[in-house]
Amino acid sequence: MDEFLRTLTDIVGRDHVLVDADDAAPYLVDWRGRYQGAARAVVRPTSTAQVAAVVAACHAAAVAVVPQGGNTGLCGGATPLADGQSVVLSLSRLNRVRALDADNNTLCVEAGCKLAAVQEAARGAGRFFPLSLASEGSCEIGGNLSTNAGGVQVLRYGNMRDLVLGLEVVLPDGRVWDGLRELRKDNTGYDLKHLFVGAEGTLGVITAATLKLFPSPQARATAWVAVPDPAAAVALLASMRAACGDRITAFELVARAALEIVLKHIDGARDPLSSPALWSVLVELSDTLPDAALEEMLMHELASASERGLVIDAAVAGSLAQSATLWALRENISEAQRIEGVSIKHDISVPVSRIPHFLVAAGERLRAIWPDVRVVAFGHIGDGNLHYNLSKADAEDNDAFIARTDEANRVVHDLVSELGGSISAEHGLGQLKRDEIRRYKSDLELELMRRIKAALDPAGLMNPGKLL
């Protein structure tokens, strides 16, 4: 063991410096299996002080640091490069709830807390933490913050950037910035926490966060709704927002191709409607009042929309179990796609009003090149975020198609840019879109980002090869 590794061992203990290939292997590949990296070691600290000491040691030795949480990312942002020169810094052992202030509606947790554990801690105090992702049982708060995670309830509560009040961050030289404020109003200069939210670990290591809590919803109503097309879905959303206001918690669009993959690969999945529909939305209302008549409100609005040709059919959940069954169809799409095989994935956003145009134009442009392309589209139509994934049904044809990923990306991303959108809505850039983003951000914007990176991490040791 060389001197550098001995230093790390002195900080966290021999059992938590992983150098054996089998021990380190799970930390060196991304969830999708797209990126395979290498590292000098995987280090697993258990406190902010240990994180700071490890980062300081890496800084002194000019060794790069790759922060990693639950390793559920989709863009390779938490996977080390293949050169084997970095240290993977796993935050999973920093998993304590530090403080909960129910009267202030705040919760302070460490970066390694799983999202599901944060939700449970809030429930235990009669409060609600609204971030909800399919990976919530394994993703961690540090990763959620570093990618500015979104999920299904952004429509009502906002994304991770909207849900954080303060951060604790280990800077690239090992110093610790304590910004764990619990204030909703603090007008004393630059809001530094937002530099680190969405930065994918390239500016520092988030070790703890103060999060916003909300009153717990006491009533819910959920429905799977067949609509004629995405334009009708957008019109239905506008109509329901006018009638139901902030009670609309989620509004998810699902193309038939996405649902069929779930029905094919996920045990127990059943089509909620008797007749197949090309497009569906999953809509949920919630209220803090236990006696809110949400099911009646939902059924009334769907009936009214049906009269106007916006709804073809609907299945309204009659129990929490039925609601969970409907949500499972939406939440299992990514897992079903992984079983189905490799696809060209896009995580894009456009203004909500332009989603129908995007879907029509993107399909036309892609089929002009690949007439048999399979489009699996789904996502958070309420906030303009679509997961737009492309593949071919035949495995051999799909391999040839995947080899033309850059060409397919150009078709999709150019259209997104034309419509004033973003090529990454909630997954980040990581390695996947690190080079692609240069085509769509202005030179000035990229310059400003590089200046911030140089100011905080002049040696370029924090998560190299990601984002910039």
DSSP 72-100: --SSSTTSPPTT--EEEEE-TT---EEEE
- Compute the distance between CA of residue 351 and CA of residue 123 in angstroms, rounded to an integer: 33
> CATH 3.30.70.2740 in the chain, residues?
341-427
Residue ranges matching CATH 3.30.70.2190 in the chain: 219-334
pLDDT of residue 1: 66
In this prediction, residue 34 carries a pLDDT of 83
For CATH 3.30.43.10, the residue range(s) in the chain are 3-90
Residues of the chain with CATH 3.30.465.10: 97-215
- What's residue 371's pLDDT? 96
DSSP lists the bridge partners of residue 66 as 88
Structure tokens at 338: 């992984």
Residue range 219-334 forms a domain whose CATH class is: alpha beta
Cα 47 to Cα 53: distance, rounded to the nearest angstrom: 10
Cα gap 97→95, rounded to integer Å: 7
The fold of 3-90 is 3.30.43
pTM: 0.92
Class level of CATH domain 341-427: alpha beta
Task: Domain 97-215: state its class.
Answer: alpha beta
How many whole angstroms separate alpha carbon 273 and alpha carbon 345? Answer: 28
Structure tokens at 343: 């696809």
The one-digit pLDDT tens for each residue of the chain (468 residues) are 699 999 999 999 999 999 999 999 999 999 888 899 999 999 999 999 999 999 999 999 999 999 999 999 988 999 999 999 999 999 999 999 999 999 999 999 999 999 999 999 999 999 999 999 888 999 999 999 999 999 899 999 999 999 999 999 999 999 999 999 999 999 999 999 999 999 999 999 999 999 999 999 999 999 999 999 999 999 999 999 999 999 999 999 999 999 999 999 999 999 999 999 999 999 999 999 999 999 999 999 999 999 999 999 999 999 999 999 999 999 999 899 989 988 999 999 999 999 999 999 999 999 999 999 999 999 999 999 999 999 998 888 899 999 999 999 999 999 999 999 999 999 999 998 999 999 999 999 999 999 999 999 999 999 999 988
pLDDT, position 223: 98
